[in-house]
Structure 1
Amino acid sequence: MMVRTAVMAGVVFVLAAGSAHSAEGMWTLDNLPRESLRERYGFEPDEAWVEQLMQASVRLASGCSGSFVSGEGLVLTNAHCVLRCVGELSGAEADYVNDGFVATARENELRCPAEELNRLESITDVSARIDAATDGRSGQAFIDARNGEKARIEAECVGDDAATVRCDVVELYGGGMHHLYRYRRYQDVRLVFSPEYRIGFFGGDPDNFNFPRYNLDMGLLRAYEDGQPVATDAHLSLRREGAEEGELVMVTGHPGKTRRLLTASQLERLRDVDLVNQLLYLSERRALLWQYGRSGEEAARQAQADLTLTENRIKVYRGQLAALQRPELFARRRADALRLRATAKTEDGDPWAAIASAQQAYRRIEAPYQMAERALGFDSEYFKLARDLVRAGEERAKPNAQRLREYQDAALTRLQQTVLTTAPIYPAYEETRLAWSLSKLRERLGPDDPLVKLVLGRESPEALAAKLVAGTELGDVDVRRKLWDGGFEAVSASTDPFIQLARAVDSVSRDLRQRYETQVEAVENKQAAVIARLRFAAFGDALYPDATFSLRLSYGEVRGWEENGRKIEPFTRIGGLFSRATGAEPFALPPSWRKVESTLDMETPFNFVTTNDIIGGNSGSPVINRNREVVGVAFDTNIHALGGAFGYDETLNRCVAVHSAAMLESLEKVYGAGTLAREMTAN
């Protein structure tokens, strides 16, 4: 059930057919660019096609996308999307990250400690309710009214089915519209297949966001319900032949966050404050993790996934910063604002000026807000668990509508799963990260800052971290369960040092959060809604909203590109993998591939590129043809698309995917998993 129209401030916004001239856009499924698809490719999906695709698409709550590829709950995603699950299931005795994992039978499939899958079932427009609740309000009153109404809407949607239903009120167009997304949730998620790290991440950081690529970045999960694989008629199947050059392909997934509707002042803040500080922090963190991994084989395994994800984020932020250093981007934003200003009414005021003022307010609180409320100064799983236990204990005692958003009823099922995960925690690794991050807290805020004095007292970061880790029992899931079940009273009585630390800094963190919400977020949301109304009036249905980790579809075609006078072909082949392999990391192949080299078809397509508009969060998205057949799985973009958070360039931006033929060839000939290959190709 998907809504077809929405009304905002007297402007009817028909969600039927976009009119974009290129493949740009991450479109909601109730607002597909039908006219463009019809004019450019002679294809117009009907409602049944869209409904089936929606039901076959899934979201990994940990931050990726995927799709059902069999009627028995089998889910295709990326290897890097299951990396955390694989790492949590690994240990010194079984290193599934580096040795790979394949379940040869259903009983061998391993339950992921903290994964959840969400399948979208319906979209409903609830803009009128949010608008009515927030009308005439500003500052904290705006935040409280908005969050309270969201909580009521989500609670009504979930009802008594919190174990199997998830409901999210999604802000679109910067808060100009609000839709309710109702999901079927699956919390029994089991690992079926993950390749060895060397082939799933072949080329490592040097190849990341580049092309040609040779990565088997695929992973398989299975959704279970009541102890049985989920039975579903809405699923996709793999087409071994893939898609030809120039053929229409679509990507359905959950892109995380774009900023294509932000104002120039918001982009300036990102460029001058957020991205610079994040890059400095992550670059030092990468060096820390690399050095920790050099202390031994087990230490390297503990830090491996974290290091991979940190390196990935650094490259993403560098690409975004480079995009924001181009003057033409700001010139376009300012020109767009001038055109929209000319259509504004007097009562609208100047939303751009109000948003610019909010950016100055953010700059004043950025350092303490990031280090305390965003917990960059407390980089430890122990602290994260402690904060969730402290805040959950306090927030759950309040009426649902008055809680912090992440502790409202709609979020508690997922939160409980992550707090009570059985994944191992490694004390030495936690101590190393915590000591470093406490030194960053002192460095950014200064040794005389009240929060720094409160946290460190007369201790050094290293001594305090050692004391906290040595004294905590939060690594024991039974201890965490007692605190969760005991609520506020149990947490208040706890003498665990991390619980005490989280309680000590919570009032400071909450104050910073309130200042951010009141002075920045409330202003941005309220004024973005004004700008959204102006955009709707000017452009109508030619608009798509910024990405919000909600289900979207992008369309494009298999196509390479030209760069510096050189044509980049759209496909790589398995033969190129063996030519590229040097035997030294990160271009070393696992023994399983070397062993079967002579049996592989070297002409099998391996990776390929398309013009689809994607971004982080799309990882694991199926690449499909017009018959809803999977021809690949998206896992990356090229370097040019790293600025895709702010805009799209069809001549250069590319989605990078694993070809369906490479997935099937690998399962059949390398991993002896022909049964899985047959399951994925069955209609």
Structure 2
Amino acid sequence: MFKSIVLPVVAVMGVIASANADEGQWQPHQLPQLKSELKRIGITIPAEKLADLSKHPMSAMVSLGGCSASFVSPDGLIVTNHHCAYGAVQRNATPEHNYIVNGYLAKTRDAELPGGPSTLVYVTEKVENVTDRVLKGLSPSLSGKERHEQVESRIKALIAECESDKAYRCSVPAFHRGGEYYRIRQLMIRDVRLVYAPADSVGNFGGDIDNYEFPRQAGDFSFLRAYVGKDGRPADPSPDNVPYHSKDFLVVSAEGLKNGDPILLAGYPGRTSRYKLPSEIRFARDVDYPAKAASITADLSVIAAATMGNPGYDVRYASVAKSLNNVLKKTQGLMDGFARTDIAAIKDKQDAEFRGWYKQHGKGGSLLSDLDTAIGADMAGSQQEAAWAEATHSDLLKSARTLYRLSLERQKPDAQREAGYQERDLSFIKARLTRLEQSFVPSVDQARWTAALNRYAKVDAKNHPHGLDALLPKADALPGMYKATELADTSKRLAWIGKDPEAFRSSHDPFIQLAVRLQDTGMALENHRKEVDGNLERVIPQYMEAVIAWKKSQGKPVYPDANSTLRVTYGTVAPYTPRDGIIKGPFSTVEGIVQKATNKEPFNAPANLLQAIREKRYGVFKDPVLGTVPVNFLSSADTTGGNSGSAVMNKRGELVGLNFDSTYESITKDWYFDPVITRAIHVDIRYMLWVMKEVDHADNLLKEMTIKYPKK
């Protein structure tokens, strides 16, 4: 149809001068083609330097595997969001030392606390285009499943080749919905320690009430430190390890920003869906999101009821509930956004224009009908998968299924195992199984699963996976299952790793028995997904290639959807108008904390913080225009989930804040970017430094960082 999938992406970059500066989550190597845009908004760092992962400031950016972060000292000190370090805080919290409530500060390196096996730091060192090695020579006669498995086999080979040095973790994610593949090599640091987290009443001020709202006053920041062996290479946690000497780190600027100033933002955004079709939007709007919101709402109610009045249970499920609440509010925001702006209708118009262009410039064939067929199968499969998730909504059952699947996969040569169950994945599986003890109580898990089985029973029978109903336990059988199982004990749970399938089949543990019974049904669902995905992976790249050519003809920007890889976006500090007569931002201040403080969660600010505000002990952190300390600010940067903790930099590449949220009206930007109302929310570095100095007296960290203070 078109000669190349790769070339149009590169070629189109030269015609984006007319594009909105704010839109786009750009791969670093694309930035040299954005010189005029960067210069226009006032960025002074050369675009070529931003494209080089070995040079400042990109060499200071890291991933936490779900959040973003950056080095701020040569001794492995990392700054990220409070909610990104929440797991490490929770891991070390006890009823006697509740670091969630009170915060934690290590005054010395010896006092830094272990982040746990799931707290990891990834330093991206190399990105290379491997599209040909993944896609070249695939036979058009392959079934969807066969095609998917051949692609996966090639990807696993590319990863194995890259991970010959075990210090590295490699991945080969798809870009442009399967049109391009890049191999990414990351140094994986396994010893990560909690250095400093402010009290929850600072880091999470406003809680779920203020989530996605503005103005807000959240001090959403924390510090971690990366440790390695004495040879400078990643090592398992050990008291003999030493701080990692990062190749680069960000200078912190306390000089501040003002309305209209340019910003750069770098991080690891999770997932966007900017190029999805109108039918996919309507499915999300009318089917997927309402079902998801209802399920999470019900689950949260069960957790609240099951933990109420039980000391320690609330701590165990604090992180679970926090995560669910965040997903719920985002899902509700998406539904409200779809109701406010008919994005499907906007996409209808764009789709009609594209199909008209394609009739003239494409080579015809069955591409568009194949596309619609593949998407229809995807949506139908998604509903069955959602039903399966409800039916198996138990942490113990998930553990049992993981263990049994691992035993089956280990009967195969490593290269032939399913991704996620190879030897390279074993440490992650152990970490998940170990981490369960931090966020699990049998009675709560039982209550959640009982409620989920009741929800599953109400799902339209046509969406029940074939054969599943007959395998599921009745609700009245669950108490006996939880009483008889040994999987709630971490050591006994881990002891199943390495056992052969026959040991599972002969087990009397009710959760192991159920995992064995569910295996065939689960595999049928998984194989169907592979068939669906393989057909999508065949047709979507052809569609995207055509879309890229179409957008190129209009002089519009083309950037890949976010996929948890390193991206750069940029924009300006800017207010917005959510509705008639209201202007929000661009700054909130510490005075807002006093105005909102009620001495009750989630507006229970620490007494010493309130006193410092009332006494106006602002020092060098006072903004000359605002006359006080700014807390949060808005920018027009293009962000999404995963960008939490992303470094917000000024025009010189100095750290001026951390991204942590979006406004409620912006949530639908995952599907459609509207520059008029899309705003990201950042914590201002001046508030962070002020809290560290005036409230928590983190003088050791202030001395460790390189901070540029305002000129007197």
Do they fold alike, i.e. is TM over 0.5?
Answer: yes
Quote the Cα distance in structure 2 between the aligned partners of 1:533 and 1:614.
24
Match of 2:21 in 1: 22
Structure 1 residue 410, shift from structure 2 partner: 5.0
Match of 1:427 in 2: 442
Q: Deviations over 1:461-498 (max 9, x none)?
A: xx433233323333433333332234546545544332
Match of 1:418 in 2: 432
CA contact (8 A) 1:613 1:655 kept: yes
1:440-479 aligned within 5 A: 440-444=455-459, 450-456=467-473, 459-460=474-475, 463-479=476-492
Quote the Cα distance in structure 2 between the aligned partners of 1:465 and 1:676.
50
Structure 1 residue 109, shift from structure 2 partner: 1.2
CA contact (8 A) 1:202 1:586 kept: yes
Match of 2:237 in 1: none
1:662 is aligned with what amino acid?
Y
Structure 2 residue 229 is matched with structure 1 residue 244: no
Equivalent position to 1:146, from 144, 151, 164: 151
CA contact (8 A) 1:369 1:513 kept: no
Quote the Cα distance in structure 1 between the aligned partners of 2:105 and 2:392.
36
Equivalent position to 1:575, from 567, 581, 591: 591
1:492-571 aligned within 5 A: 492=505, 494-519=507-532, 521-540=533-552, 542-563=557-578, 564-571=580-587
Quote the Cα distance in structure 2 between the aligned partners of 1:24 and 1:346.
27
CA contact (8 A) 1:118 1:184 kept: yes
Match of 1:436 in 2: 451
SS of 1:566 mapped into structure 2? coil
Quote the Cα distance in structure 2 between the aligned partners of 1:438 and 1:612.
42
1:217 is aligned with what amino acid?
D
1:191 is aligned with what amino acid?
L
CA contact (8 A) 1:292 1:303 kept: no
Q: Any stretches of 5+ residues in structure 1 without a counterpart?
A: 1-5
Structure 2 residue 368 is matched with structure 1 residue 357: no
Quote the Cα distance in structure 1 between the aligned partners of 2:104 and 2:343.
45
Match of 1:31 in 2: 30
Quote the Cα distance in structure 2 between the aligned partners of 1:559 and 1:337.
31
SS of 2:459 mapped into structure 1? helix
Structure 2 residue 228 is matched with structure 1 residue 225: yes
Equivalent position to 2:100, from 97, 100, 104: 97
Quote the Cα distance in structure 2 between the aligned partners of 1:348 and 1:678.
65
Question: Aligned in 2, Cα 1:448/1:371: closer, same or farther, shift over 3 Å?
Answer: closer
Structure 1 residue 399, shift from structure 2 partner: 3.4
Match of 2:660 in 1: 635
CA contact (8 A) 2:44 2:652 kept: no
CA contact (8 A) 2:76 2:227 kept: yes
SS of 2:511 mapped into structure 1? helix
Structure 1 residue 660, shift from structure 2 partner: 0.4
Q: What percent identity do the matched residue pairs reach? A: 27
1:107-256 aligned within 5 A: 107-113=110-116, 114-136=118-140, 137-159=142-164, 161-162=165-166, 164-226=167-229, 227-256=241-270
Quote the Cα distance in structure 1 between the aligned partners of 2:589 and 2:110.
34
Structure 1 residue 239, shift from structure 2 partner: 1.1
1:70 is aligned with what amino acid?
S
Structure 2 residue 634 is matched with structure 1 residue 609: yes
Q: Deviations over 1:88-130 (max 9, x none)?
A: 2223332211121111211111112221111111111011112
Question: Aligned in 2, Cα 1:432/1:247: closer, same or farther, shift over 3 Å?
Answer: same
Question: Aligned in 2, Cα 1:96/1:378: closer, same or farther, shift over 3 Å?
Answer: farther
Quote the Cα distance in structure 2 between the aligned partners of 1:176 and 1:30.
17
Quote the Cα distance in structure 1 between the aligned partners of 2:362 and 2:28.
35
Structure 1 residue 134, shift from structure 2 partner: 3.2
Match of 2:234 in 1: none
Question: Aligned in 2, Cα 1:627/1:410: closer, same or farther, shift over 3 Å?
Answer: farther
CA contact (8 A) 1:28 1:552 kept: yes
Question: Aligned in 2, Cα 1:102/1:494: closer, same or farther, shift over 3 Å?
Answer: farther
Q: Deviations over 1:158-180 (max 9, x none)?
A: 11x33x21111111111111111
Quote the Cα distance in structure 1 between the aligned partners of 2:608 and 2:451.
38
Question: Aligned in 2, Cα 1:498/1:15: closer, same or farther, shift over 3 Å?
Answer: farther
Structure 2 residue 500 is matched with structure 1 residue 484: no
SS of 1:256 mapped into structure 2? coil
Structure 1 residue 666, shift from structure 2 partner: 0.6
2:384 is aligned with what amino acid?
P
TM-score by length of 1: 0.91
Moved more, 346-355 or 559-568: 346-355
Equivalent position to 1:370, from 386, 410, 430: 386
Quote the Cα distance in structure 2 between the aligned partners of 1:99 and 1:534.
55
TM-score by length of 2: 0.88
Question: Aligned in 2, Cα 1:572/1:471: closer, same or farther, shift over 3 Å?
Answer: same
2:169 is aligned with what amino acid?
R
Match of 2:420 in 1: 406
Match of 1:60 in 2: 64
Quote the Cα distance in structure 1 between the aligned partners of 2:704 and 2:394.
40
Quote the Cα distance in structure 1 between the aligned partners of 2:465 and 2:501.
32
Structure 1 residue 409, shift from structure 2 partner: 4.9
CA contact (8 A) 2:409 2:421 kept: yes
2:448 is aligned with what amino acid?
R
Quote the Cα distance in structure 2 between the aligned partners of 1:186 and 1:644.
33
Quote the Cα distance in structure 1 between the aligned partners of 2:154 and 2:616.
60
Structure 1 residue 599, shift from structure 2 partner: 6.5
SS of 1:91 mapped into structure 2? coil
2:679 is aligned with what amino acid?
R
Structure 1 residue 347, shift from structure 2 partner: 5.8
CA contact (8 A) 1:606 1:659 kept: yes
Quote the Cα distance in structure 2 between the aligned partners of 1:121 and 1:516.
33
Match of 1:676 in 2: 701
1:427 is aligned with what amino acid?
P
Question: Aligned in 2, Cα 1:639/1:142: closer, same or farther, shift over 3 Å?
Answer: same
Structure 1 residue 328, shift from structure 2 partner: 4.5
Match of 2:286 in 1: 272
Quote the Cα distance in structure 1 between the aligned partners of 2:312 and 2:414.
44
Match of 2:233 in 1: none
Quote the Cα distance in structure 2 between the aligned partners of 1:282 and 1:662.
34
Moved more, 130-139 or 226-235: 130-139
Quote the Cα distance in structure 1 between the aligned partners of 2:112 and 2:437.
16
Q: Any stretches of 5+ residues in structure 2 without a counterpart?
A: 230-240, 623-627
CA contact (8 A) 1:15 1:31 kept: no
Structure 1 residue 575, shift from structure 2 partner: 2.1
Quote the Cα distance in structure 2 between the aligned partners of 1:100 and 1:12.
47
Question: Aligned in 2, Cα 1:470/1:214: closer, same or farther, shift over 3 Å?
Answer: same
1:522 is aligned with what amino acid?
G
2:23 is aligned with what amino acid?
E
CA contact (8 A) 2:72 2:251 kept: yes
Quote the Cα distance in structure 2 between the aligned partners of 1:486 and 1:134.
37
1:579 is aligned with what amino acid?
Q
